[in-house]
Structure 1
């Protein structure tokens, strides 16, 4: 488009901006005043472009733009006021006297500032109504300004109130709406472990097996992708992933703990100590059965084990020849005590052990001689403390005793328990307890005898240990429980070989939710009839095999071939042939029984049936006589008939010989 301003031609491409037009007009007025400027059009070659461009009244255009913007703003304001009147229950009615003037002044200022950027043909739009509502609402509501595009409403406040209620009530955060069951075996699941990311689950049992479950790789069949026996014929006591999730600690009924990688291959096996040394601190490893073990929460190479030899030892993954340090629990009389469970504090600075005499002893990790905290009568003497668990804030310690109790302790005042719950039956030395991810609940399981009820997963409020919720798991004992903070899912190990996973599709994420949506894979049947196709490119045509077109067609073809399909021979009909007997029997004995022994055609006396062939055998000997013809002398039989007859004449009739 060409503009003619005074004696100046201006060539523009596209639609000119209003600010550019104003600048050009000012420049042209200055150029008209100076007499030294020549004919720019002739100098720059614009004189041959043709007709003259139109002229515009810029002031009239600006005024028209301003009036149109004001009218549109007033129209939008009236519509907004009508909507606010209709929704008076939601927000305060808008004043009709003050708002238009203020909004009009704002629109005039905005239009005057934006009019320089508007197009000559297209009039710029007014401010968005949503922004006006935000400004008006901000004037009425006291508080910090809201982000652009966000509108205050009572619905949001109601949702916030509901969220606050959910935050205050930790029971609503328990993910128990759905569950899946993993069949480990038939014996007690005595160990559970989840890696830090929650992608893999490891289960151990009294049947010596350790099974690996991958939630992302499983389908609806819920089968483990690997099963192994790392400690041969020893029961699995504890399993745990390291803080990085790359290795697994395996504690079994033997004296040597093992460390496996994520695929089940052995990385480390702890050394066994000398059982003939009296002082267990002078041996390089444990000498008796292990009871428990765990990883350091901060140092990925360090782990902890406790054993029946009366020691708690720390190990380093980089040195397998010897333990790192030794802690020896002692009774009040200074005698050796067996630790049944052990754990690190959340910061890794403390090491706690529950002992067989009912005591709980806590050491500083760097000082292994004397205990830092000690409670002599934590649980009943002679009962095995099965679990110790620190809260996430590191202040509270929970202990699950073999005396069917659950206690919480404040390590800053360790003489008396904070709260006690009794009557929690426990039959297993590894029945454990754990804290919820928000640190407000304490979870443990109960044991039952066979056909005497259901094992339950109990939830207690941390501060008062009041039971707030329970889940009936199965008609067997609940041994292990684990609440993963990242997945927000609860894993439970039972006494009948099941591992159950509880989750909520809304509150939980990943984990079991990845495998339940997958359908079961179809089983691949063994293709026993198919033969490998051998490619022989240089073979002669008479020896070359035909190329297989399809496996299915080849299977159908091989099925028709009696040799390839190993088709059994049909039964013989009629008389036997080729050494095979007819259909009456498959063996020679059955043939004899069928045709000779059970032949009832001859009902005569067997003796008479044999003597019937005597004359023929005497005249034409074939079987017996020719065999003994050369060696057998001529038989000479005594003539007893005459003597018998003479003797019989003299004897009475009743004494005669009976033949």
Structure 2
């Protein structure tokens, strides 16, 4: 009884406190849930439902088998079976009442497949149609099987690099920056996130002075750029265009190119190692393919020397790494494709002697993403695919692909199902095209007419799913699809062009002196327009400049040309361009006039000496000789 009375007192005290403080429920314990018990009950309920669904399916199969037998019209279901069904229905209703959670919506027809379906419940009165789901699956499968639908070509933007051929393109791994190189020696940087609708490059430089840019590529990490130009020294720049490394030049008088520290002739191509961020590869007209290390700039890392069938030196025109970085491939001028193991530089691992026509420059080698297929773009207007495991014959060949440039390239699509390359055209003879081929059979499945000029470079970025194209008239085009692509060109298209801000110039320097005395403080300038109006009223600031002096000049100012004596002399005598071939005749042409009409010397001696008397030079010389000693006399 004491406990009950104390409880009653506590409850009354709680009620008084809650009424005073203005809230209810003071002193009640929070409701607790046993989560483990709830999970266990849910699991058991799910097991029971799956068992019940299995029993109903077995029962339906039995009924279908009984229906298939011939049944007499007088036959009726037994009462025991009906009772069993009623018992099952009652048990199912009881089990349903024990289910925790919101009830399932009623359905018109029960389907055995619905019990196995995992996902949100269907709305009431709707029956899941297997045909609809099958159609959706078929559409998805068609999209997956048809790689043409993944080509992003619904929209395009045009970047104006210059007027000459865009010979190099590169995107960093993240797809934020694009760099373009051209025959006009310029390398331009384009930042998609920082560009507006005007599509202007934020930086332009000439890293190799007066040498055409042959190849550009970002490293794996995207922090440095490899620049290969028409000289013999490749350069490495950072993201802002400042030089990090310049390869050393070799000694051109050494016969064995393996004994020189670097290339001695024009470079043709170069690329970064796909796994090692400090290593890159270059090939040159000196007949070597060299690997370099970013940390050591005094010498190359290793040398590969392609050779012909007779063992003579062959010029490599393009080079590349395999996707895993273990193989190094080079296309040569004699039409061969030679592949070495990266760690063994003496003998080739794979060698195809007649890959392309001899004497044609193989412009590009590209490995597929799975590393099995090699694509080669030849100077003989062909595109071929090769299986590295059997390198004697090409898998497929496409001919008639015109190429006028030694850097016309090809690339694989991100899903590895398509192969892309460009074609060249002469001026006013059609449009350059970007062609898409199926990888296995090299059947043309799609094409894009780019412009009325050649398509030189093409690049399909896997992260952005956008295609970059370099053309022969100085344009770089970017193709994208707002649905299938992301970032990249879509960032700068939505931005409007910035308005040019005209800087307002002040008429005089404004000096701010916050701690000066009030008598020395200058009035604060409210606006430039008012200050200009005040200066216009000031006679000193708005004084008209003095006109040029006409006449002899005054106040130290020089007059017009020819006004002073010196300028007159310069104008009439020093600048006299009369050319007399004989200077003696030019002097004596006035002698006759001076003798007939004397003006300067003769009138002064007219009274005292009307007839001039001149001394005889010979007599004077003889007298001088007589007075002089023997050793001073003139010898005649």
Q: 1:44 to 1:56 in 2, by over 3 A?
A: farther
Q: 1:56 to 1:139 in 2, by over 3 A?
A: closer
Alignment partner of 1:160: what SS?
Answer: helix
Q: 1:514 to 1:584 in 2, by over 3 A?
A: same
Structure 2 counterpart of 1:164: 140
2:53–2:112 contact (8 Å) kept in structure 1: no
For residues 450 and 566 of structure 1, the distance between their equivalents in structure 2, rounded to whole angstroms, comes to 61
Q: Deviations over 1:396-454 (max 9, x none)?
A: 11111111111111111111111111111111100100011111111111111111111
Q: 1:620 to 1:154 in 2, by over 3 A?
A: farther
For residues 414 and 104 of structure 2, the distance between their equivalents in structure 1, rounded to whole angstroms, comes to 48
Structure 1 counterpart of 2:116: 140
Alignment partner of 1:642: what SS?
Answer: helix
Aligned residues: 635
| Residues 1:619 and 2:619 are matched in the alignment | no
2:302–2:345 contact (8 Å) kept in structure 1: yes
Q: Deviations over 1:205-252 (max 9, x none)?
A: 111111110000000011111111111111110000001111110101
Q: 1:324 to 1:529 in 2, by over 3 A?
A: same
For residues 389 and 613 of structure 1, the distance between their equivalents in structure 2, rounded to whole angstroms, comes to 90
2:179–2:188 contact (8 Å) kept in structure 1: yes
Q: 1:556 to 1:54 in 2, by over 3 A?
A: closer
2:337–2:352 contact (8 Å) kept in structure 1: yes
Identify the range of structure 1 (575-584 vs 607-616) with the bigger mean alpha-carbon deviation.
607-616
Q: Show the 5 A alignment for 1:247-396.
A: 247-396=224-373
Q: 1:551 to 1:611 in 2, by over 3 A?
A: same
| Residues 1:582 and 2:559 are matched in the alignment | yes
Q: Deviations over 1:268-288 (max 9, x none)?
A: 111111111111101111111
Q: Deviations over 1:103-123 (max 9, x none)?
A: 999999999999999999999
1:373–1:414 contact (8 Å) kept in structure 2: yes
Q: Deviations over 1:61-94 (max 9, x none)?
A: 9999999999999999999999999999999999
Identify the range of structure 1 (561-570 vs 408-417) with the bigger mean alpha-carbon deviation.
561-570
For residues 77 and 255 of structure 1, the distance between their equivalents in structure 2, rounded to whole angstroms, comes to 78
Identify the range of structure 1 (159-168 vs 105-114) with the bigger mean alpha-carbon deviation.
105-114
Match for 1:153 among 126, 129, 137? Answer: 129
For residues 85 and 572 of structure 1, the distance between their equivalents in structure 2, rounded to whole angstroms, comes to 126
2:431–2:454 contact (8 Å) kept in structure 1: yes
1:81–1:94 contact (8 Å) kept in structure 2: no
2:386–2:393 contact (8 Å) kept in structure 1: yes
Shift of 1:526: 3.4
1:66–1:112 contact (8 Å) kept in structure 2: no
Identify the range of structure 1 (647-656 vs 477-486) with the bigger mean alpha-carbon deviation.
647-656
Q: 1:239 to 1:583 in 2, by over 3 A?
A: closer
For residues 603 and 277 of structure 1, the distance between their equivalents in structure 2, rounded to whole angstroms, comes to 62
- In the superposition, the TM-score normalised over structure 1's length comes to 0.67
Structure 2 counterpart of 1:552: 529
For residues 267 and 117 of structure 1, the distance between their equivalents in structure 2, rounded to whole angstroms, comes to 79
Shift of 1:532: 3.8
Identify the range of structure 1 (43-52 vs 258-267) with the bigger mean alpha-carbon deviation.
43-52
Q: 1:481 to 1:55 in 2, by over 3 A?
A: closer
1:73–1:126 contact (8 Å) kept in structure 2: no
For residues 103 and 356 of structure 2, the distance between their equivalents in structure 1, rounded to whole angstroms, comes to 77
Q: 1:346 to 1:540 in 2, by over 3 A?
A: same
For residues 437 and 249 of structure 1, the distance between their equivalents in structure 2, rounded to whole angstroms, comes to 23
1:445–1:456 contact (8 Å) kept in structure 2: yes
Q: 1:163 to 1:536 in 2, by over 3 A?
A: same
Q: Deviations over 1:279-320 (max 9, x none)?
A: 110111111111000000111111000001100000111111
For residues 62 and 646 of structure 1, the distance between their equivalents in structure 2, rounded to whole angstroms, comes to 151
1:454–1:476 contact (8 Å) kept in structure 2: yes
1:529–1:565 contact (8 Å) kept in structure 2: no
CA RMSD of aligned residues (A): 14.0
Q: Deviations over 1:365-388 (max 9, x none)?
A: 011000000111111111111000
Shift of 1:612: 34
2:18–2:26 contact (8 Å) kept in structure 1: no
Shift of 1:647: 55
Q: Deviations over 1:154-174 (max 9, x none)?
A: 697267336435111111111
For residues 603 and 320 of structure 1, the distance between their equivalents in structure 2, rounded to whole angstroms, comes to 67
Q: 1:347 to 1:72 in 2, by over 3 A?
A: closer
Shift of 1:548: 2.0
Q: 1:336 to 1:145 in 2, by over 3 A?
A: farther
Q: Deviations over 1:528-566 (max 9, x none)?
A: 345442112454555532112345654666677787689
Q: Deviations over 1:454-506 (max 9, x none)?
A: 11111111111111111111111111000000000000001111110000000
Which runs of 4 or more aligned residues in structure 1 lie more than 4 Å from their structure 2 counterparts after TM superposition?
24-131, 133-137, 140-156, 538-543, 551-659
Structure 2: runs of 5+ lacking an equivalent: none
Q: 1:285 to 1:633 in 2, by over 3 A?
A: same
Alignment partner of 2:281: what SS?
Answer: strand
Alignment partner of 2:54: what SS?
Answer: helix
1:407–1:421 contact (8 Å) kept in structure 2: yes
2:104–2:121 contact (8 Å) kept in structure 1: no
Shift of 1:333: 0.5
Q: 1:117 to 1:27 in 2, by over 3 A?
A: farther
Q: 1:79 to 1:532 in 2, by over 3 A?
A: farther
For residues 320 and 361 of structure 1, the distance between their equivalents in structure 2, rounded to whole angstroms, comes to 27
1:70–1:108 contact (8 Å) kept in structure 2: no
For residues 348 and 563 of structure 1, the distance between their equivalents in structure 2, rounded to whole angstroms, comes to 77
Alignment partner of 1:304: what SS?
Answer: strand
1:69–1:111 contact (8 Å) kept in structure 2: no
| Residues 1:592 and 2:569 are matched in the alignment | yes
1:271–1:285 contact (8 Å) kept in structure 2: yes
Identify the range of structure 1 (46-55 vs 498-507) with the bigger mean alpha-carbon deviation.
46-55
